[in-house]
Amino acid sequence: MGVPRRDLLITTVIPTFRRPKQLRRAIRSVLSQTYPHFRVCVYDNASGDETPSVVDEFARRDGRIKYTRRPENIGACRNFADAAARIDTPFFSFLSDDDVLLPNFYETALAGFEQFPEAMMSATASVHINELGEVSNVPILNWRPGLYLPPRGLLTMVENGHPEWTSVLFRRELLTEIGPPDTELGGPFDLDFELRAAARFPMAVSLRPGALFVIHKDSTGILGGLDSLCPGWYKMTCKIAADDTIPRKARSQAAHLLSRSITRMLLRSSLSLTASGDWLRADQAIGYLANYCRITPRLLKLLVKACRRFEPLRQTMSGGIAFRRFIFGSSAALAPDKELQSQFGAYARCLEL
C-alpha cells in the first residue's frame, strides 16, 4: 500500500433522501476541506423534491460534484452499498446527508496513512452534536491515538465506542477485501462495516475531531429505530461470533460485548419510553430484550403496567434525577455534556455552513 501521495483523489459518497437543506450544508463542508483533491458523489434516493437543484447549484460552479438520481427509492442501506461499488479512487469516505465534515478531516486522515502506511482505515474523532450546538458525546476519547492492529481495533470499538464512519477515511482496497456495506443488516450496517474492517486490518486513529455527527428530530437511533436496529444488531453479533478469520478468543469476547451493549441500550430505552408514556414502543423494547437478549423482563413489564395505571408514578420517573442520570449515563446519550461542550462546543460554527 505505501505512503499516499498528496495528490491522490478521495471520493466522498453522500447518499441522500429528502433533506435538501442538510445536503447543502454537507456538500459545503466537503468543499471547505483543506485538502483539495476530492470528488463528491451525491446519490439521490428518488427524493422528488428540490434536491437536484441543490446539487446543480454547486455542480455548475465546481466540477468535483457528481450527481446520480435513483429512478426509485432503493432504501438507505442499498443506496450506500451501490454507491460504494462505484468508487474508483484510492481513498473514500461516507458522509450522511445530515452530517458535517470539519475542514481538516481529509488532511488529518491522510496524515494517519502517512504515519502508518499499513493501515486500511484512518479514523478521526466524531463529535455528536445537535442543531443547537449542544455536544453530547465524542466516542473515541477513551482510545489512545496510534495504530491498532487486528483484532485490537475490533475489540476497542465494541468496548469503548466506535468513531462514526463519517469521520473515517478508507482505502479502496478494503472494498475488495471485505465487500460493501451489508444491505441485510438495516440500522447497524455502518458499524458492521467498521467492525469487519477492524477485525482484519490495521487502523490508524487520531483524536483530532474530523466530523460532526448531527442529532436532530429525524435522526434514527435506539429510541426511534428498534425495528431496524435490534434484528440487525443480532445478525451482526452472530456474524462476528462465526467469523473464523478472527481469533476464537477475540470473536467470543467481541460477541459478548456486543450482546451486553444491546442489552443495556434496550434496558435504557424501555425505561425512557415508559417514563415518556410511549407504551407501544416500551412494550416493543421489552419484547426485543426477551427475544434477542435472553432476558425475562418481568419487573419491566410490571413497571410499565404500574405506570400506565398510576400517572404520578410515571411523572416521578420522568422527573427523577437518579433516573435521568441512569438513562443519560450511556455513551449513546443525547443529553448535552457540560465538559464536552466546553471542549468541543466551538465546532458548532460549522453547522452554519
Dist. CA 62–CA 26, nearest whole Å: 15
Least trusted range by pLDDT, from 24-38, 95-109, 132-146: 132-146
What is the model's pLDDT at position 229? 86
Residue 332 has pLDDT above 50, yes or no: no
Upper half-sphere CA count for residue 130 (Cβ side, 13 Å): 12
Which one-letter amino acid corresponds to residue 26? Answer: A
Residue 324 has pLDDT above 60, yes or no: no
DSSP 169: E
Which one-letter amino acid corresponds to residue 148? Answer: Y
DSSP 141: G
Q: Which three cell numbers stand for residue 104?
A: 481538516
What is the model's pLDDT at position 218? 58
Domain ranges of the chain: 10-215, 226-331
Q: Which three cell numbers stand for residue 65?
A: 460534484
Confidence of residue 217 (pLDDT cuts 50, 70, 90): low
What is the model's pLDDT at position 186? 85
Q: Which residues pair with 21 in a beta bridge?
A: none
Dist. CA 81–CA 280, nearest whole Å: 32
The DSSP result for 210-234, as a single string, is: EEEEEE-TT--STTT-HHHHHHHHH
Asked if 138 and 219 count as a contact pair (C-beta separation under 8 A), the reply is no
Confidence of residue 223 (pLDDT cuts 50, 70, 90): very low
For the chain, the residue count is 353
Residue 116 has pLDDT above 90, yes or no: yes
What is the model's pLDDT at position 221? 47
Least trusted range by pLDDT, from 218-222, 291-295, 342-346: 218-222
Name which residue leads in pLDDT, 161 or 6.
Answer: 161
Percent of the chain predicted with pLDDT > 70: 92
Residue 280 has pLDDT above 60, yes or no: yes
Q: Where are the alpha helices (DSSP H) in the chain?
A: 20-31, 51-59, 76-85, 105-115, 152-160, 173-178, 189-200, 226-242, 248-275, 279-292, 298-309, 311-319, 321-328, 338-344
Dist. CA 5–CA 23, nearest whole Å: 30
For 213, phi and psi rounded to 5 degrees?
-95, 105
Name which residue leads in pLDDT, 123 or 324.
Answer: 123
CATH second-level architecture of 10-215? Alpha-Beta Complex (3.90)
What is the model's pLDDT at position 267? 87
Dist. CA 302–CA 300, nearest whole Å: 5
What are the tens digits of pLDDT across the range 127-164?
A: 999 989 999 999 999 999 999 999 999 999 999 999 99
What are the tens digits of pLDDT across the range 42-93?
A: 999 999 999 999 999 999 999 999 999 999 999 999 999 999 999 999 999 9
Asked if 2 and 117 count as a contact pair (C-beta separation under 8 A), the reply is yes
Dist. CA 21–CA 253, nearest whole Å: 42
Q: Which three cell numbers stand for residue 216?
A: 436532530
Which DSSP helix (H) or strand (E) runs through 353?
none
